């Protein structure tokens, strides 16, 4: 498998981590967590990491690994917590279904695209959709009653390019998510400088809108405000976040803010998320190695500040289900760091000891323990 520009940038500075083994029993004050990672990189993981975190202080521990799952760079769970789904980010892309309790692989299906990097379940839980980065495509799969995946039933090919000669020669689908109502799905495409809006009915995606962003911005991820009226797009290539008005399946880009101060090291925004109460927005900065913290002011954002992430190249950040802790997967230092969240101010404070684990790029704290 070749190394493209995206992988080269991500792999710079990656060090070897520690093998996740053992069988620590969960106490009443812990919840499970899974770690997505790269397995084919030097010093890579053996599969999907398994662990726990302490609900009192956010301290993470590893308890094992689901071996044999190749490059599970993004992992999600079913709404009832019974199943896990992971992309296999390879040139010949696949998606893997797993039993969340037994930690056994149920089956795999080819996506028909290259390097799937994100996936989501539709609101019914009966279909799964992947975003295939290198091919700029989306793939739809039916979910069977036993949690396994049926063969792909639809493939949607994006079109478009941008001015960056290394990253935007063609479309690069980077994320697929549903809006808060569940009526529309949105695919963020870094190569096309666009976010494509779809309806999803009877297991089929149908394009209904296209939101274009500044040429060369490189949209990577989107997060919706819980009010369903605003969304925030993280642009990887120009280090900005864009506040967008949202209604009836259509995004309208508005306010643009820088996500990090000028620096000698180029910055690449990655994940963006909104607090459950809608008061704050957080964004991970790779390069500046921080979490940018914004306050929500109506339809716009105000930068509050930056918190050092305590590691290098934070690929993914997420809030635990309670909203009390934020976890950051620091790809290039092989560390996952924890932060306590001040619910009144949104302030992040380091909590617990950073967890050493191989090339973490996704953190999934489970909803049901």
CA dist., res. 206 & res. 200, Å (int): 6
Q: What is the pLDDT of residue 4?
A: 52
Contact between 177 and 185 under an 8 Å Cβ cutoff? The reply is yes
CA 289 to chain CA centroid, nearest Å: 17
Q: Which two tokens stand for residue 84?
A: 């896990």
- pTM of the predicted structure, to 2 decimals: 0.93
CA dist., res. 99 & res. 144, Å (int): 13
pLDDT digits 0-9 by tens, 297-313: 999 999 999 999 999 99
| 199: pLDDT strictly greater than 90 | yes
Percent of the chain scoring above 70 in pLDDT: 92
Mean of per-residue pLDDT scores for the chain:
93
| pLDDT confidence band for 235 (50 / 70 / 90) | very high
CATH code of domain 5-365: 2.130.10.10
pLDDT digits 0-9 by tens, 114-139: 999 999 999 999 999 999 999 999 99
Q: What is the pLDDT of residue 368?
A: 85
């Amino acid at each position: 498998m070749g190394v493209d520009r995206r992988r080269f940038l991500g792999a710079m500075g990656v060090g070897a981590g520690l093998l996740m083994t053992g069988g620590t029993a969960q106490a009443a004050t812990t919840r499970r967590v899974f770690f997505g990672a790269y397995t084919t990189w030097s010093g890579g993981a053996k599969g999907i990491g398994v662990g726990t975190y302490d609900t009192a202080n956010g301290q993470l521990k590893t308890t094992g690994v689901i071996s044999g799952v190749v490059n599970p760079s993004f992992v999600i769970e079913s709404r009832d917590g019974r199943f896990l789904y992971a992309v296999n980010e390879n040139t010949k892309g696949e998606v893997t279904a797993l039993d969340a309790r037994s930690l056994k692989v149920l089956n795999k299906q080819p996506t028909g695209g290259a390097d799937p990097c994100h996936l989501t379940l539709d609101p019914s839980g009966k279909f799964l959709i992947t975003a295939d980065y290198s091919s700029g495509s989306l793939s739809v799969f039916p979910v069977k009653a036993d949690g396994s995946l049926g063969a792909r039933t639809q493939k949607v090919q994006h079109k478009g390019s941008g001015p960056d000669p290394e990253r935007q020669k063609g479309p690069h689908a980077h994320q697929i998510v549903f809006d808060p109502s569940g009526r529309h799905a949105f695919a963020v495409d870094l190569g096309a400088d666009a976010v494509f809006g779809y309806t999803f009915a009877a297991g089929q995606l149908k394009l209904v809108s296209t939101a274009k962003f500044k040429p060369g911005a490189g949209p990577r991820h989107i997060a919706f405000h819980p009010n369903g009226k605003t969304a925030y797009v993280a642009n990887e290539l120009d280090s900005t976040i864009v506040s967008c008005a949202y209604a009836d399946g259509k995004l309208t880009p508005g306010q643009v803010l820088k996500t990090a101060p000028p620096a000698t090291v180029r910055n690449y925004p990655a994940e963006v998320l909104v607090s459950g109460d809608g008061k704050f927005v957080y964004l991970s900065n790779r390069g500046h190695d921080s979490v940018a913290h914004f306050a929500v002011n109506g339809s716009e954002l105000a930068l509050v500040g930056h918190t050092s992430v305590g590691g290098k190249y934070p690929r993914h950040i997420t809030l635990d289900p309670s909203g009390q802790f934020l976890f950051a997967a620091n790809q290039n230092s092989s560390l996952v760091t924890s932060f306590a969240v001040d619910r009144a101010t949104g302030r992040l404070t380091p909590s617990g000891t950073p967890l050493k684990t191989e090339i973490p790029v996704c953190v999934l704290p489970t909803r049901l323990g």
